[in-house]
Chains A and B, each alone.
Chain A
């Protein structure tokens, strides 16, 4: 498949005036949605975006039926009213009936969406000339955005952004600990209303670009993806906004370059790829980071166990210094391949040297081996002294713990146990 470089260049150089309109519209909608989405995400109300998105549909249809024209501002008012009503109803049902929140969400979402589809069908049957394109609200029509719509989105984006920045502290405390926010006198009921209003505003606008079905992805996915990368609110917001902006622009570029490709779905696909990438490769929380951490641990355990084996070999056969694979492998619960890879690692780190098919412990390795045995035996002693565990039950525990003990804890153990000479099995503790 050839990349449509010509079209991509056209898009990013704004050579067509229409491209510029779409660019700014999508950029504002996707980045401001991400900003607001951070707080719906942190308040664990991720599904509320979905409710609003589906519930703006009847509002749009009603506004059209009343005004008989496709004025974006009027459509937005209609969308805002039913969107707001849906949030209010979900809260009302949750608080005043036995119906739980998730059920209320499912009920309201489907009732409003159903009503919306009915109204749209009715509009189609009336044969109003300007109705063409109204049903594109379901999947969005970003590529067909008009300048007057984008102007409206810009204004809304600015209002929502300013409101979020002004009330940032309120939203933040409320998301973490709502009772405390009330206790310190924050106007929590008002903050809830303001957050709902800005969510409704941005969702009602965004629906016009990516459609009802995909809008909640625009709201929640950036925050969820950003959470992998940071533990700080400020960074969370910035990363989420960047993810939103990048996927918005890329989605629009792709759909512009491949004729006939829909914009909304492409935005969501780029966004999902970013989220997937985050889940895989984010430091610490990503799957790769965890995998490599586990690999580091199991390598450490492997090498330390081999070094420990050399310590024992040198004790039992002090007459020789180099040992064969068979000698090393006996008493080690390892497969030969594992042992070989461990030996290779240890040779590479200059803890062992290899001559032919024999391996010798180097001084660095010997010091480390003694330290591991010391950790093992001190831990055994600690268990039997402080946890009253019988001598024949301490070994297995120490086999695992010896690899975790840090130099600081080792020192602590030495002081606590007063530099003991022998372990519970009366074996010498090497210092």
Chain B
């Protein structure tokens, strides 16, 4: 039996969301709501649309069908309250910037494209670096960082935004155990301060320790609910087991014959 729990006053509402890449749906008619003040895991096998979901929520990719509401508003209205941490590998770290420059980008969310950063901003940058244990690296070239340090810098940049909702794409991918531990500690602390954290994650073993709520995705929505309810063998098998063969056949047909998903 599928578990898709709806919540009242959701922090995030995803409604009939469909995103198509090259005529092939990456997420198909996904519909769920998420509660405030929790750590929420987005999980599913490779290519199940987890990153696409985050990007669609942030408006980085356009939704073909459906919509997303954050704090009951369009994302454009509430960007200052939402922070996005892309996958670490999505950027070229051999870029002329120091650690503090990258973290300062978080303050641009508030200051915009034109106005200068002031002393308060610089303090926030320092504080954010301290929270991830990177204050000693403020002047380090980002090209010299290890994978775990890169991830910490990205999280510090998000912290510097002082947001309410955080969307993180694979923050634990390719980081060492101690970094993973300190990141999850930090996430817990943020949750205890009333922040909501949506985290794309891979590892099923740690998931029930890390998350209060889990969304299981496999192009379509498989389940959304408190981790204890969702993590049953049947539901996990449905998410990670074979794809729905008919659904993927239809998806292939859409791409092959170049049919539109909807027509007027």
Contact = CB atoms under 8 A, between A and B. Distances in A.
A186 B114 contact: no
A318 interface: no
Contacts of B90: 177, 179
A277 interface: no
A280 to B, nearest CB: 20
Q: Which of B80, B106, B108 has the most CB of A within 10 A?
A: B108
A317 interface: no
Contacts of A236: 96
Contact of B84 (A44, A166, A180): A180
Interface in B86-100: 86, 90-92, 95-98
Nearest to B116: A169
A326 interface: no
A227 B161 CA distance: 30
B103 to A, nearest CB: 12
B86 A185 contact: no
B98 A231 contact: yes
Interface in B25-66: 55, 58-60
B64 to A, nearest CB: 15
A185 B96 contact: no
B96 A179 contact: no
Contact of A179 (B55, B83, B109): B55
A173 B96 contact: no
A214 to B, nearest CB: 26
Interface in A37-76: 42, 44
Contacts of A179: 55, 58, 60, 84, 86, 90
Q: Which of B95, B96, B101 has the most CB of A within 10 A?
A: B96
Contact of B58 (A173, A177, A183, A231): A183
B119 interface: no
Given A169-B108, A173-B108, A182 B60 contact: yes
Given A177-B86, A231-B141, A232-B98, A183 B60 contact: yes
A73 to B, nearest CB: 31
B207 interface: no
B94 to A, nearest CB: 9
B102 interface: yes
A231 B86 contact: no
Contacts of B59: 182-183
Interface string A180-204: 1011111100000000000000000
Contacts of B84: 179-180, 183-184
Contacts of A184: 79, 84, 105-106, 108-109, 161
A167 B113 contact: yes
A159 interface: no
Contacts of A173: 105, 108
A219 B67 CA distance: 42
Interface string A222-251: 000001001111011000000000000000
A93 to B, nearest CB: 15
Interface residues of B, number: 31
A401 B60 CA distance: 47
Interface string B74-88: 001001101110100
Give the contact-size bracket for chain A: 20 to 34
B73 to A, nearest CB: 14
Interface in A163-181: 166-167, 169-170, 173, 175-177, 179-180
B143 interface: yes
A351 B112 CA distance: 61
B109 A185 contact: yes
Contacts of A169: 108, 113-114
A342 to B, nearest CB: 32
A185 B79 contact: yes
A240 to B, nearest CB: 11
Contacts of A167: 113
Nearest to B169: A179
Nearest to A98: B22
A186 B97 contact: no
A293 to B, nearest CB: 15
Contacts of B83: 183
Given A182-B60, A186-B113, A231 B108 contact: no
B96 A183 contact: no
B49 to A, nearest CB: 16
A341 B48 CA distance: 63
Q: Which of A42, A182, A184, A187 has the most CB of B within 10 A?
A: A184
B79 A183 contact: yes
Contacts of B80: 185
Nearest to A234: B96
Contacts of B86: 177, 179-180, 183
Contacts of B109: 184-185
Contact of A233 (B58, B96, B113, B143): B96
B13 to A, nearest CB: 19
Nearest to B83: A183
Interface in A296-351: none
Contacts of A232: 96-98
A231 B114 contact: no
Given A177-B90, A179-B60, A180-B84, A186 B108 contact: yes
Contact of B105 (A180, A227, A230): A180
A34 to B, nearest CB: 15
Contact of A176 (B60, B76, B79, B102): B102
Nearest to A182: B60
B113 A231 contact: no
Contacts of A233: 96-97, 101
Given A176-B97, A187-B113, 14 more contacts: A170-B113, A176-B102, A177-B90, A177-B105, A179-B55, A179-B60, A180-B86, A182-B60, A183-B82, A184-B79, A184-B105, A184-B108, A231-B96, A233-B101
25 contacts: A42-B95, A166-B114, A167-B113, A169-B108, A173-B108, A175-B95, A176-B102, A176-B105, A177-B90, A180-B105, A182-B60, A183-B59, A183-B79, A183-B82, A183-B84, A183-B86, A184-B106, A184-B108, A185-B109, A186-B108, A227-B96, A231-B96, A232-B96, A232-B97, A233-B96
